[in-house]
Amino acid sequence: MNATPQPGEDRHSERPSGLAGRLDRYFHVRERGSTFPRELRGGLATFFAMAYIIVLNPLIIGTAEDMNGETLGVTQVAATTALVGGVITILMGVVSRYPLALATGMGLNVLVAYSLAPQMTWADAMGVLILEGVVLLVLVLTGFRTAVFRAIPPELKTAIAVGVGMFLALVGFVNAGFVRRVPDAADSTVPVQLGDGGSLAGWPVLVFVIGLVLTIALIVNRVRGAMLLGIVVATVVAIVIETVAHIGPMDDGTSGGNPAGWSLTVPSLPTSFGDVVSLPDFSLIGRFNLFGSFANAGTVAVILLIFTLLLADFFDTMGTMVGVAGQAGLLDEDGNVPRAREVLIVDSLGTIGGGLAPSSVNTVFAESAAGVGEGARTGIAPVVTGALFLVATLFSPLVQLVPFEAATPVLIIVGFMMVTQITRIPFSDYAIGIPAFLTIVMMPFTYSIANGIGVGFISYTIIKIVQGRIRDIHPLLWIVAVAFAVYFALGPIEQMLGL
């Protein structure tokens, strides 16, 4: 479980005294081969790698209409996104003592915005999230969620970690505009392409390349704070370029758009104090109706919606937890996460919190691996990250200074680090190699961690059946495989039920 000490560090040297000593003992800083400065850098790197959610989530949750055509509002959702992310991330650090940060989950927020909201009011939708979080919490407290996790073969756990690394790399390339969807992809055999029209063009992509090359150079030369330095330098370059060239956003409101523009955040220096500090609007807090969804959408439809959210949330968290903990060297000899129960309890509370203060489901972020890449090994890093999220409720304009193109090189590097675990998988054993392969490729190919896990579990179960080795299948894996089969067949099921 213990991480390898870094060069020049002695884990067995005299412990610090006073407050530093108490923090060291509680968070196991020296025991895990870490230091307080490294935890600070890790917390900063994680924040900058995932701060985009403060900008992106409001554009999804804040602009989507419910059944009455009402929206939550971009400004209000930005405030609750930062607030809930900050509080629950600090709680994760203190309770679990792992370098795991939480915020509104991408993919889950799309599901909430475009599957839940159109069938009910926003207050009803938030009530559904709270109910789902309560169910998750019960599954954790009864030990079921942890038991499912421990029933998974170690090789599949490794495949999950590798798949998360591939997923992170793809997210980084896409968010930076280095990889883009082909226009009218339905008429083409190629769904994605390099840059715009098959070639790299535009200053923002150059910023990404500069950031990636610089980060690689710093990493291979073992420069401390390499990832954070890469983000800062790339952001400065981006601000200078935007100030001189006035590139503007990719979506500039015109019919053809601006393919050479910034993918989301346009970097620019603040021109007034009001552009730096603003009081957050927390008026959405408490805006939920716990059981209103049953009246508007129907009992069967709500149960299916909760089931869909439950599976996606359940296994997204599990996959990310394994991937990040594995990268940090914090797994035990069986590939399990010690104190996983504490992680899962806080994660369940994050889902409940996302409904109480409308921001959608809050879950463990794969970008937590950015902090691990900087050396974070304890809960101190997420405490730092969470504190920055809370500060971001006041300084949201400054948070928006960091464009995707400057932050995403970190995701590429971390993806590489996580993929290196692939050597642990015995691909020569097809019974485990094929499910592991499907787990890995389905995550980036379907843009979903949960989908990759589901396909891996189902294929593993089928292979064991056709081999006549049914006894090798843990009873809980039967349940999970069947649940995922139902999850993937929800469309036909809803059609059969007339929903």
In a domain, 276, yes or no: no
Q: Which residue numbers in the chain have pLDDT < 70?
A: 1-15, 17, 184-188, 252-253, 255-256, 274-275, 396-400, 499
Question: What six digits make up the tokens of 490?
Answer: 């929800």
Residue 278 burial (C-beta neighbours within 10 Å; 0-12, 13-18, 19+): middle
Cα separation, 487 vs 148, whole angstroms = 17
Do 315 and 457 have their domain in common? no
Evaluate the CA torsion angle 86, 90, 91, 93 in order and state its sign. positive
Do 215 and 258 have their domain in common? yes
Per-residue pLDDT tens for 394-431?
876 666 678 888 888 888 988 898 899 899 999 999 99
Do 103 and 175 have their domain in common? yes
How is residue 128 annotated by DSSP? H
In a domain, 19, yes or no: no
DSSP letter for each residue of 293-360: HHHHH-HHHHHHHHHHHHHHHHHHHHHHHHHHHHHTT---TTS--TTHHHHHHHHHHHHHHHHHTTS-
Do 259 and 348 have their domain in common? yes
Q: How many domains in the chain?
A: 2
Do 310 and 364 have their domain in common? yes
For the chain, how many helices (H) and strands (E)?
Answer: 22, 4
Do 412 and 456 have their domain in common? no
In a domain, 242, yes or no: yes
pLDDT at 255: 65
User: Is 194 in a helix, a strand, or coil?
Assistant: strand
User: Is 224 in a helix, a strand, or coil?
Assistant: coil
pLDDT at 1: 43
Do 222 and 366 have their domain in common? yes
In a domain, 1, yes or no: no
pLDDT at 187: 63
Domain that holds residue 451: 427-489
How is residue 262 annotated by DSSP? B
In a domain, 7, yes or no: no
Cα separation, 417 vs 330, whole angstroms = 15
Do 291 and 407 have their domain in common? yes
Do 200 and 317 have their domain in common? yes
Contacts of 210 (CB under 8 A, 6+ apart): 233, 234, 237
Which pTM was predicted? 0.73
In a domain, 9, yes or no: no
The residues with which 363 forms a beta bridge, in sequence order, are 103
In a domain, 60, yes or no: yes
Domain edge (last residue) among 400, 418, 436: 418
Do 82 and 214 have their domain in common? yes
Question: What six digits make up the tokens of 457?
Answer: 């579990």
pLDDT at 6: 46
Do 201 and 288 have their domain in common? yes
In a domain, 232, yes or no: yes
Per-residue pLDDT tens for 292-312?
888 887 787 788 778 778 877
Do 211 and 310 have their domain in common? yes
The residues with which 193 forms a beta bridge, in sequence order, are 180
